[in-house]
Amino acid sequence: MKSCSSRITLLPACMALTMAIAMAPSGASALTVNEVVVDLACPCECPLVLSDCNMTCGLKWKDDVGKLINKGMSKQEIIDSFVAKHGDAARITPLQRIQGKIFQYTRSFGTLEWVLLWVGIAVWISLMFIGIYIAVKKVSRDKSQAT
């Protein structure tokens, strides 16, 4: 009988502990540097998104973002802080995002790689037009033979 009463007194304690664990903020919802820097432009002349930049200027800005996160600022507050301090050039635009990705993947291209890229694109476009021409010619020939 004694064990049954001890179970009854432990039940509210277990429920309270479960509620405390469920209500505690999880580390997964914490703001990270990468979540903020994807919306900022690199401060130097390269057209990279700040999250892709590993130069000293970009690393300094990432460090500054980390310090602001540790102060408890939200993502929007950090972005507004950078825009207020550095102007609209700190905010990434969709065009800059595209140019940055192109630059990121092609910055090591030499002359030969660029020539091969554009020759490949020209050959692909030519083959597409030839394929469309042949298909249209075949369809029109089949229609004329059907009538």
- Which tens digit of pLDDT belongs to each residue from 36-54? 888 888 777 777 778 887 8
> Which has the higher per-residue pLDDT, 22 or 114?
114
What is the percentage of the chain residues whose pLDDT exceeds 90? 21
The per-residue DSSP string of the chain comes to -HHHHHHHHHHHHHHHHHHHHHHSPPGGGS--HHHHHTTBB-SSSS--BGGG--SHHHHHHHHHHHHHHHTT--HHHHHHHHHHHH-GGGBPPHHHHHHHHHHHHHTT--HHHHHHHHHHHHHHHHHHHHHHHHHHHHHHHHHHHH-
Residue 60 pLDDT greater than 70, yes or no: yes
- The string over 10-22, giving b where at least 16 C-beta atoms fall within 10 Å of a residue's C-beta and e elsewhere, is eeeeeeeeeeeee
pLDDT in tens, 95-113: 877 877 777 677 777 889 8
pLDDT above 50 for 71:
yes
CATH superfamily of 32-108: Cytochrome C biogenesis protein (1.10.8.640)
CA distance 28 to 37: 18
Instruction: Name the band, by pLDDT with cuts 50, 70 and 90, for residue 29.
Output: low
The reported pLDDT for the residue numbered 27 is 47
